[in-house]
């Protein structure tokens, strides 16, 4: 049950992150009020790092900013390490 909830959460946050990056790219092209960089990075940190990476590739957005180019993959790496460690220790008990 918890696994299903976690998967739905990850799907939702990654979809929201992907859409947010797309909206920010659209706003950048149309000279509109932008989505804050901190909000985009927060979405990645809350579990949307895969959606952020996909959006960066699809929309070619935020790829020149070092905090996105290196920060988002670093966030994903930390999330993967935490997930693997959790699974490892969970299986040990």
- 12-26 burial by CB neighbour count: b if 16+ within 10 A, else e? ebbeebbebbeebbe
Domain boundaries, the chain: 2-92
Residue with tokens 């790496």: 77
Tokens linked to 35 = 């989505």
Q: Are 50 and 76 in contact (CB under 8 A)?
A: yes
pTM exceeds 0.85 for this model:
yes
Task: Please give the Cα distance from 23 to 45 (Å, whole number).
Answer: 19
Which tens digit of pLDDT belongs to each residue from 7-33? 999 999 999 999 999 999 999 999 999
Which tens digit of pLDDT belongs to each residue from 28-58? 999 999 999 999 999 999 999 999 999 999 9
Residue 16's pLDDT is: 98
In this prediction, residues 58-76 reach a mean pLDDT of 94
């Amino acid at each position: 049950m918890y696994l299903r909830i976690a998967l739905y959460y990850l799907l939702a946050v990654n979809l929201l992150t992907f859409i947010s990056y797309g909206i920010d790219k659209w706003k950048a092209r149309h000279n509109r009020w932008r989505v804050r960089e901190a909000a985009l990075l927060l979405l990645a940190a809350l579990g949307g790092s895969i959606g952020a990476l996909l959006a960066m590739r699809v929309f070619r957005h935020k790829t020149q900013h070092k905090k996105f180019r290196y920060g988002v993959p670093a966030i994903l790496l930390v999330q993967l390490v935490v997930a693997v460690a959790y699974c490892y220790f969970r299986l040990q008990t």
